[in-house]
């Protein structure tokens, strides 16, 4: 096969894949609605600087105002526009989701691959540790970790931590949440990847490769990792919603994003304090996060069905 | 069975030790001493030194690590820094019962209703019931507890005035409806879905057909033959949701204003109350390990086949 043939067949493959994807979306209206909603949230977050109101601008004369033509979703306890704050909150949520997922999945893939490929004693030690982390509720661990990161970076840091603390301050606490979720969220991924690499490790083509004299790193890079891709994608469908859920949870508890940066979690927390008098302050962020997570789960379910029906069935029962 | 039980308990020890070690060092690496919560009124250094000495905070870290572990093993979880008149044991005794009642009620509700709904769905196989269950499980999996609590309080409490919006007057009052349901939604959805699937699997097996052919009453077949076998996966799923209910209580208790252990934990984190944080986390860890053990042992009771498997 010439290079040209490969390129054309690749292009045909992509077109074919897109067509299949489109047919799949059309057969599944819930998926279509969810994708549209997520796209809308993404655009909403992207366009937040161009909204008519500023998310940080206080107006003491119009505090806790209900929805009106001027402020579509009303204003909060400091007179800030709720819609604008939701938009910046969406930005926070999406940033955290993407960045912490990258960190968590990278660690998970690394740990899972090393454990499975090395085997023996190393595998035992790593999996013992992973099991302990698994036995422990991840939210609990994330809360403790977030408090630690916040304490270390939030105050006056010196030495090596100083640039990190500066970045932490500039990001309004976002960096702390990213680190927390990235460093605590890799456990599921590592397990999935380890199982996949273990099953691939003794495949005949890997054996053939080794007989031909390929190095470990070549086998891992060229054969094991590409074949682990579907599993990694499946892991992503679990990690992303969990990151959004945990970010809001941490901010809700006061160890996430720092005020005045809006987060859906902090908005829910302040809304909960005055829910009797101003329920709209609670309803808006609650619906935002609820619907986003719902949409993400629908998309994740569909993606898992598409990638591997067996995995999705077994995981679906357990989660 | 006894040797298996012994092995399981032994294997829980490293898990607990890792949990303790992680929590201890995370708590102590978190800067700021528990005494400087006042903010604009810093504490006199001499007073601080005396307090540090009293609570052993002036000792090297490894000494604190060992002595706290030693005391914890003897049932003493230390004093609370935030509220110096109480020990962590007092706090546990005061706040844990409310959370336990709440969590147990939620789990019981989820399991009983989940089994009933799952069986109903499997037996009728009506598209409407199936659709309802799919909706329930999607909601249950994707809606965080704080969202469910908020929506329920705003709609039922503020909107309709059916339930109080804040506070706790006991399990058998209207004040428990929203918290119990919020905590129960996710496990309810999972148990329903799981029990439906396993009932459908069991339904066409040989022994069920035999039981039918023998002319047993349908209800007896459903309960004794199908139910008992289909229960095993559902038990595992319910067990895995215990920790979910535990963590969910942080949020539910904070929003609904329930004076429970979860709410206290949240407040302790803000106050850097190390013994309370470490103590509660240790209790949670023990709880999780015990629950996992109980779920494993339930297999033995429900399914004789596992006894042979594990024994060999």
CA distance B180 to A53: 39
Tell me what the pLDDT averaged over chain B comes to. 78
**A66 touching chain B per CB within 8 A:** no
The C-alpha of B205 sits at a distance from chain A's nearest C-alpha, in angstroms, of: 21
Of B65, B95, B15, which Cα lies nearest the Cα of B274?
Answer: B65
Whether B142 sits inside 8 A of A268 (CB atoms) is no
Whether A137 sits inside 8 A of B292 (CB atoms) is no
pLDDT of A50-75, one tens digit each? 777 776 777 777 777 777 767 677 77
CA dihedral A147, A149, A152, A158 (to 10 degrees): -170
Average pLDDT over residues B206-235: 82
Of A248, A263, A239, A119, which Cα lies nearest the Cα of A183?
Answer: A239
Percent of the residues in chain B that have a pLDDT greater than 70, as a whole number: 86
**A282 touching chain B per CB within 8 A:** yes
The C-alpha of B81 sits at a distance from chain A's nearest C-alpha, in angstroms, of: 17
The C-alpha of B103 sits at a distance from chain A's nearest C-alpha, in angstroms, of: 15
Chain A hits for B251, CB-CB cut-off 8 Å, are 249, 252-253
Percent of the residues in chain B that have a pLDDT greater than 90, as a whole number: 4
Which of B20, B114, B144, B267 would best serve as a mutation to test chain A binding (most A beta carbons within 10 A)?
Answer: B144
Q: How many CB atoms lie within 10 A of CB B170?
A: 9
Which DSSP symbol is given to A262? -
CB within 8 Å of chain B, chain A residues 227-256: 241, 245, 248-249, 252-255
Quote the pLDDT of residue B20.
80
pLDDT of A153-190, one tens digit each? 766 666 667 777 777 777 777 888 888 888 888 888 89
Q: Among A137, A297, A318, whose Cβ lies nearest the Cβ of B237?
A: A318
Quote the pLDDT of residue B106.
92
Q: What structural domains does chain A harbor?
A: 43-59+68-310 (1.10.3720.10)
Q: What is the pTM of this model?
A: 0.80
B312 vs A151, higher pLDDT: A151
CA closest to A255 among chain B residues: B270
ipTM: 0.75
**Contact between residue B129 and residue B118 where contact means Cβ atoms under 8 Å apart:** no
Whether A275 sits inside 8 A of B154 (CB atoms) is yes
Whether A132 sits inside 8 A of B26 (CB atoms) is no
Q: Where are the alpha helices (DSSP H) in chain A?
A: 3-27, 29-46, 82-118, 120-135, 138-154, 161-170, 174-184, 187-201, 204-211, 216-219, 225-253, 264-273, 280-307, 309-318
pLDDT of B90-130, one tens digit each? 878 888 888 888 888 999 999 999 988 888 888 887 788 88
The answer on pLDDT for A8 being more than 60 is no
């Amino acid at each position: 096969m010439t290079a040209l043939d490969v390129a054309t067949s690749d292009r045909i493959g992509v077109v074919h894949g897109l067509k299949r994807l489109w047919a799949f979306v059309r057969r599944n209206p819930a998926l279509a609605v969810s994708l549209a909603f997520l796209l809308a949230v993404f655009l909403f977050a992207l366009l937040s600087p161009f909204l008519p109101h500023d998310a940080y601008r206080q107006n003491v004369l119009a505090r806790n105002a209900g929805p009106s033509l001027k402020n579509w979703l009303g204003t909060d306890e400091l007179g800030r526009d709720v819609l604008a704050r939701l938009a910046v909150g969406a930005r926070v949520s999406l940033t955290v989701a993407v960045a912490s997922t990258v960190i968590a999945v990278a660690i998970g893939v690394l740990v899972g691959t090393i454990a499975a490929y090395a085997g023996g004693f190393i595998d035992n030690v790593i999996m013992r540790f992973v099991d302990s982390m698994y036995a422990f509720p991840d939210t609990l661990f994330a809360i403790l970790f977030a408090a630690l990161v916040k304490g270390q970076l939030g105050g006056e840091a010196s030495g090596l931590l100083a640039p990190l603390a500066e970045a932490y301050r500039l990001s309004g606490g976002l960096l702390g949440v990213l680190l927390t979720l990235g460093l605590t969220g890799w456990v599921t991924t590592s397990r999935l990847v380890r199982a996949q690499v273990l099953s691939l490790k003794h495949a005949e083509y890997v054996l053939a490769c080794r007989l031909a004299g390929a190095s470990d790193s070549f086998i891992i890079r060229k054969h094991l990792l590409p074949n682990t891709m579907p599993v990694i994608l499946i892991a992503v469908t679990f990690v992303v919603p969990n990151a959004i859920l945990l970010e809001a949870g941490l901010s809700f508890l006061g160890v996430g994003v720092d005020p005045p940066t809006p987060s859906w979690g902090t908005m829910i927390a302040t809304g909960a304090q005055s829910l009797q008098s101003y329920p709209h302050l609670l309803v808006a962020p609650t619906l935002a996060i609820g619907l986003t997570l719902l949409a993400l789960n629908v998309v994740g379910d569909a993606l898992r069905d598409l990638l591997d029906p067996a995995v999705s069935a077994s995981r679906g029962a357990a989660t | 069975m006894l040797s298996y039980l012994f092995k399981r308990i032994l294997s829980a020890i490293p898990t607990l030790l890792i949990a303790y070690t992680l929590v201890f060092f995370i708590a102590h690496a978190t800067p700021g001493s528990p005494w400087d919560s006042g903010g604009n009124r810093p504490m006199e250094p001499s007073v601080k030194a005396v307090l540090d000495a009293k609570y052993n905070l002036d000792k090297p870290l490894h000494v604190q690590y060992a002595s706290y572990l030693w005391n914890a093993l003897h049932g003493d979880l230390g004093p609370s820094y935030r509220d110096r008149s109480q020990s962590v044991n007092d706090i546990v005794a005061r706040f844990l019962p409310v959370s336990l009642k709440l969590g147990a009620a939620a789990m019981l509700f989820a399991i009983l209703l989940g089994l009933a709904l799952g069986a109903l769905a499997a037996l009728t196989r009506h598209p409407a019931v199936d659709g309802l269950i799919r909706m329930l499980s999607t909601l249950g999996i994707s809606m965080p507890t704080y969202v469910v609590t908020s929506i329920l309080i705003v709609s039922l409490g503020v909107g309709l005035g059916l339930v109080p919006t804040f506070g706790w007057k006991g399990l058998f009052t209207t004040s428990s409806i929203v918290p119990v349901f919020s905590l129960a939604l996710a496990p309810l959805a999972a148990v329903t879905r799981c029990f439906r699937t396993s009932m459908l699997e069991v339904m066409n097996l040989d022994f069920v057909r035999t039981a039918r052919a023998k002319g047993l009453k349908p209800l007896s077949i459903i309960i004794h033959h199908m139910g008992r076998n289909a229960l095993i996966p559902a038990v595992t799923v319910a067990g895995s949701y215990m920790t979910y209910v535990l963590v969910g209580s942080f949020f539910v208790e904070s929003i609904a204003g329930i004076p429970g252990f979860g709410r206290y934990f949240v407040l302790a984190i803000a106050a850097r109350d190390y013994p309370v944080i470490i103590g509660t986390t240790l209790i949670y860890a023990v709880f999780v390990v015990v629950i996992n053990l109980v779920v494993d042992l339930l297999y033995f009771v429900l399914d004789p086949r596992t006894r042979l498997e594990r024994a060999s």
